[in-house]
Structure 1
Amino acid sequence: MKNLFKSLQSLQIKLVVIYVLLIIVGMQIIGVYFTNVLERDLTGNFKTNIETQIDLIETRIEEINEEYGDDRAGFQAEVQKLLYDYGNRSDIDEIRFVNPDSVLIATSKLSNESSVNSTIKAPKTKESLDTGLSNDEIFVSVEDDSKRMWIVNAPLIVEDRVIGAIYVASNIESVYQQLEKINNTFIIATILSLFITSILGIFVARTITKPIINMRNQALLMSEGNYTSRVQIYSDDEIGQLAESFNILSKRVQEAQANTESEKNRLDSVITHMSDGIIASDRRGRIRLINDMALGLLNLQAEELQGRDMLEILNLQNDVTTEDIVEGTEISHLLVIENKDEEDTMIRVNFSTIVKDTGFINGYIAVLHDVTEQERIDAERREFVANVSHELRTPLTSMKSYIEALQDGAWQDEEIAPRFLKVTHEETERMSRLVEDLLQLSCMDSEVEEINKEIVNFNMFLDRIIERFEMTHKEDVQFIKNFPNTAIFTEIAIDKMGQVLDNVISNAIKYQQREPKRVEFYLQQNSYYNRLTLRIKDYGLGIPNSKVDRIFDRFYRIDKARTRKMGGTGLGLAISKEIVEAHDGKIWANSIEGEGTTIFINLPSEVINEDDWDV
């Protein structure tokens, strides 16, 4: 039923119904007008004919009245004969002549001859006699099969005196029967015309609505995202021009949609692969978009964020409001995200407002910058400056104290003066080494210093360095070497890598208390990856597990007082790390507190046959 009602609301049905209704209304108007005119003409002709006969009867009765004068019996006989003559016609039912006293003088109807010379009760006839005016009426005769009868009463006036009235009852049913036949014919013609016009209307409506239906279907496809199909053009009229315009519109929408999709995909790709986190919200602050970088920075899942408050997720609901973002105040904040197994992540959050051209606020954007490394570098920079200041201030303070003592007369004391000068010299040397190490680090950081590499037999290179230490520590240090029989070749800067090994071996010797001291060397090569690994193990104090990774930081000391006493600057391992990384290598440490430390150096190796090397 619902589908039927919906189909009746279609444009095609409406056009057909309107078309048929117009035809019906038009035919009704024409039928009513035609029927009325025809009825008026037929009844008018019929009445005119009867009235003509009445005029003839009146003329003849006047002649008979003059002819017979006072002979009433002869007058009555002639009038009766006259009425018989005119009453024999098929359209006349009865003709009467009534004198002024309403006495029936003559009648053409045999069944009423018994009433002749009797007073009759006929109000219309009496009215005509009294007024001297004609009157008529149409009534339905119940006695005569309900036929329509037209009654006319016409007074007969002679010398301004009414001498009687002529009553004519005519059968007008034939006129209405003729009208009924014509009306039936008109109704049949109307029905036939409606049937034909309905078929024509359906065809015409289909011709009009077919392209409109096609455009509707195309619009539905467009609403579903399909812009490829086109509307067929059937004509060059207004509907055809509309279909052509619709096809152009569909093409333009397709191009605009493609451009929009392209821009959206480009924007999604940019947002997804941005190095910064992006969070977009609606004007109420509810999250509508968040990229993977933001999820990673916040350690959250996308499913648990959609529709939640952006400031609540960032834990800034007590510090920032949407009004602050709109006004541009307090729009940058630093967040600290705690990680269980890693260092805390520091995030800089900047807010901005999305405003339409109309000035309506459509939402807010939060940009998350990972500033952990920057903050760490800034902290290291501050710590580095503090350490440099401290390392320089300590020898300068000592030197200043001894120099002031010498100025105050200590130089004259033969026992104190040499000792003060020796300490001043040592502090000067220490400060000089510190400045040289800082300069070397600065050059390596700025990549100003060039590293001249050459291919060497690393076994022989390492053996020569160990021999040099054996010569200086042959009594108090044991050096254990575990080298492969096959030569390992690598491309290094001999002086720089020698500095690294000197520093590592010196530390291995310096921080041991056991006697005799012991340093072990293990060298091996991974031919598959073309890498070599050197392990230098000592049996010294060891390093706490939480501080092992920091020994390569600049100025970092496990025991600052003891390291400074031993003459260290705190930059040796940092310089070693810079040199090793400049050789595309890695250096790291493993340590057990109280048992010793192992330094690992991993470098690229070269595949060279030893026979070719000797040549």
Structure 2
Amino acid sequence: MNVKAKLKSFFQTVQVKLVIIYVLLILVAMQLIGVYFISTVKASLVNNFTNNLKEQADILAKFAAPSLSPAIDSDTDVTENTTEDLNLVVRNLFSISGAEVQVLDGNGKIVATSLQLHQSYIGQKNKSLAVSRALQNISDNEEEFIDEDGTRKKMIAVPVTHNEKVVGAVHIVASMTEVYDTMNRVNQIFFSGTIIALCLTGVLGVVLAHTITHPIQGLTRQAELVAEGHFDMKAPVLGNDEIGRLSMAFNDMTIRLKEALSANEEENEKLSSVLSNMSDGVLAADENNNVIVWNKRALELMEVGTLQDVQLPAALGLTEEQLAELKRGRTQIFILSKERYEQPSKDDAEETILKVTLSPVHRRDRGMTGAIAVLQDVTDQEKLEHSRRQFVANVSHELRTPLTTIKSYAEALNDGALEERELSERFVGVIRNETERMIRLVSDLLHLSRLDSNQAPLRRQQTNIQDMLDEVADRFSFQLRQKSITAKVKVDRSIKQVWLDRDQIDQVLDNLVSNAVKYTSDGGSISITAMKSKDKAYVEISVQDTGIGIPAKDLSRIFDRFYRVDKARSRNMGGTGLGLSIAREIVKHHGGKIMLESELNVGTTVTFSLPLLQEGGDAK
């Protein structure tokens, strides 16, 4: 099978085809020339042979006419002397190689013959049609036939006239063997010449075809190298003919192709770099909705390892209606929600919100040839928007409650409660308390706003941790005594002076201790401690109480603004729901962290860490 394939490939080459064309052209030309030449030669030989026979027959007829005329005049048989004379003339003077010459009288009887073997035929009548026609003075009597021995012969019958009267006939039958032998020799010579011409044509065809195919083979090798990515080789230019100009055009095309591919590779690298470093995910699909291009960000957003052999509708969860809109060439924007688990042990899943912009890709001559989807993670934006709406709602709620109370008591005073001193004083006290509550709320909001916009710069100073914590305990000593709560302050001896903003950290401690006092039952205890972290880079300050604690489901949101575990109780205790939020922002501005641990009906521990800095901000 391999040999057949090689032979087939060989006969399909241009060189072989050119040689075959040359040989066939010469063969057809030789055949046409041979047919014309041989037919002409044959006709010429046959005509010459026939004319020769006719000339000899005419000469013999003229010679025999006087001898045959007495037989006509006397109406008796020719004499024996006349017969002998004619036989002698026919045998000696008119002998033709391989031919029989007969002289017949007016009755068609043989008078003389050229063959010694046929002397017995003398006096017998020749009944052939040609002789009869000749005796009727018809001159054109010739016939070509093949005898019993397979020899081709020519027969001619010529009338013999004397005084314009037919007195007899000359009948010649000659063999055409020499004529056809000559034709065969001519055919052999022509066949040999044809074979020699074909061989020479084949050799010359190979040489000429090589001069044409060699540059083409060079171009083919160069094209194969270009197809493999080798653009440095050049096709040889062997002349200024068509193939030479083709080689020059090919070399020019190779240079341009190299430049175009280099530019294309550069653009692809730029595109790949852009796709790889985009903060948005990108998916591209072909006209059959097969995903063919994607970037790393798309895999991260969709939480998959690969998109190989994935359909775009399956990847994005497209509906039939969305696919129909895409086929109509319309750009679509929709939200794709995916749930992901931050920790496998938790039951609550965090929802990732993706904004998908799906656009069709059009080509001028083919219509829509694919689609591109851009994925944007808008989870934080949605959370921020949700927080903003919740914040506005909480602020509105927090302000509406005291304003409603103030309005109610003011209307009561206006309706006559002002006349009763004791009742009016109580109403005025409620109005004052609600007003102070709104002032605290607005102050906390302004403080948070300054912290968010970095408009509350830190004024660090060397602060003695022991003194600061003792002062916090002293500030709450009255509330502690009222609820019979014991407070302990414990500071690591290695901690002396710390660089921090004393006013802001006091506010953090006041919020934490205030919450501890509020939610600790009578007879409980509060512990305030300060110690270094394990890496000695931070000081960790903790406020621990034995209060009512916080349910586990509320721990993740305890630092959110306006978030309260027990809203009614917190509001009655005068809280704004912003204390822990302010504390977190202050600690964050100091470069530290704050965390809360609590167990329901056991107690709560709030710990915040502050970096140990030297003067100028360098870490200790």
TM-score of Structure 1 vs Structure 2, range by shorter chain: 0.7 to 0.9
Query: Structure 2-normalised TM-score?
Result: 0.86
Residue number in structure 2 paired with 1:482: 491
Q: Partners in 1 of 2:109 and 2:601 — Cα distance?
A: 165
Q: Which amino acid aligns with 2:333?
A: S
Residue number in structure 1 paired with 2:159: 155
Post-superposition Cα deviations, 1:485-510, rounded to whole Å, max 9, x if no partner, equal 254654x3333333223323333333
Residue number in structure 1 paired with 2:126: 120
Q: Which amino acid aligns with 1:12?
A: Q
Does structure 2 retain, via aligned residues, the 8 Å contact 1:512–1:539? yes
Q: Partners in 1 of 2:452 and 2:49 — Cα distance?
A: 131
Residue number in structure 2 paired with 1:504: 512
Deviation for aligned residue 1:451: 1.0
CA gap of 1:39–1:484, structure 2 versus 1, over 3 A, is farther
Q: How many residues align?
A: 598
Does structure 1 retain, via aligned residues, the 8 Å contact 2:238–2:244? yes
Q: Partners in 2 of 1:192 and 1:603 — Cα distance?
A: 110
CA gap of 1:450–1:86, structure 2 versus 1, over 3 A, is farther
Answer with 207-216 or 533-542: which moved more: 207-216
Specify which of 444, 451, 458 is matched with residue 457 of structure 2: 451
Q: Partners in 2 of 1:394 and 1:199 — Cα distance?
A: 114
Specify which of 365, 389, 394 is matched with residue 387 of structure 1: 394
Q: Which amino acid aligns with 2:367?
A: F
Q: Secondary structure at the match of 1:415?
A: helix
Does structure 1 retain, via aligned residues, the 8 Å contact 2:470–2:489? no
Post-superposition Cα deviations, 1:427-466, rounded to whole Å, max 9, x if no partner, equal 222211211111122222233x151444635xx1x22221
Does structure 2 retain, via aligned residues, the 8 Å contact 1:514–1:540? no
Residue number in structure 1 paired with 2:572: 565
CA gap of 1:307–1:214, structure 2 versus 1, over 3 A, is farther
Q: Which amino acid aligns with 1:126?
A: S
Q: Secondary structure at the match of 2:136?
A: helix
Q: Partners in 2 of 1:471 and 1:359 — Cα distance?
A: 83
Post-superposition Cα deviations, 1:78-111, rounded to whole Å, max 9, x if no partner, equal 222211222445x352221111211111112111
Answer with 134-143 or 425-434: which moved more: 134-143
Specify which of 168, 171, 179 is matched with residue 167 of structure 1: 171
Does structure 1 retain, via aligned residues, the 8 Å contact 2:143–2:155? yes
Does structure 2 retain, via aligned residues, the 8 Å contact 1:354–1:365? yes
1:96 and 2:102 aligned: yes
Residue number in structure 2 paired with 1:138: 144
Residue number in structure 2 paired with 1:317: 319
**Mapping 1:257-268, distance limit 5 Å:** 257-268=261-272
Gap regions ≥5 residues in structure 2: none
1:333 and 2:359 aligned: no
Does structure 2 retain, via aligned residues, the 8 Å contact 1:332–1:350? yes
Deviation for aligned residue 1:368: 3.0
Residue number in structure 1 paired with 2:20: 17
Query: Structure 1-normalised TM-score?
Result: 0.87
Does structure 2 retain, via aligned residues, the 8 Å contact 1:539–1:595? yes
Specify which of 195, 198, 205 is matched with residue 201 of structure 1: 205
Does structure 1 retain, via aligned residues, the 8 Å contact 2:113–2:119? yes
Does structure 2 retain, via aligned residues, the 8 Å contact 1:11–1:209? yes
Residue number in structure 1 paired with 2:371: 364
CA gap of 1:453–1:137, structure 2 versus 1, over 3 A, is farther
Q: Partners in 2 of 1:112 and 1:235 — Cα distance?
A: 80
Q: Partners in 2 of 1:187 and 1:559 — Cα distance?
A: 122
Q: Partners in 2 of 1:393 and 1:212 — Cα distance?
A: 93
Does structure 1 retain, via aligned residues, the 8 Å contact 2:18–2:209? yes
Q: Partners in 2 of 1:233 and 1:494 — Cα distance?
A: 88
Q: Partners in 2 of 1:488 and 1:229 — Cα distance?
A: 77
CA gap of 1:184–1:325, structure 2 versus 1, over 3 A, is closer
Deviation for aligned residue 1:606: 3.1
1:585 and 2:592 aligned: yes
Q: Partners in 1 of 2:387 and 2:393 — Cα distance?
A: 10
Post-superposition Cα deviations, 1:369-391, rounded to whole Å, max 9, x if no partner, equal 32221221111111111111111
CA gap of 1:488–1:150, structure 2 versus 1, over 3 A, is farther
Does structure 1 retain, via aligned residues, the 8 Å contact 2:58–2:158? no
Deviation for aligned residue 1:21: 0.7
Answer with 18-27 or 573-582: which moved more: 573-582
Q: Secondary structure at the match of 2:350?
A: coil
Identical-pair percentage = 34
Specify which of 180, 184, 190 is matched with residue 180 of structure 1: 184
Q: Secondary structure at the match of 2:521?
A: coil
Does structure 2 retain, via aligned residues, the 8 Å contact 1:153–1:167? yes
Q: Partners in 1 of 2:590 and 2:472 — Cα distance?
A: 24
Q: Which amino acid aligns with 2:594?
A: I
Q: Which amino acid aligns with 2:491?
A: N
CA gap of 1:251–1:429, structure 2 versus 1, over 3 A, is same
CA gap of 1:32–1:258, structure 2 versus 1, over 3 A, is same
**Mapping 1:524-543, distance limit 5 Å:** 524-525=532-533, 530-543=537-550
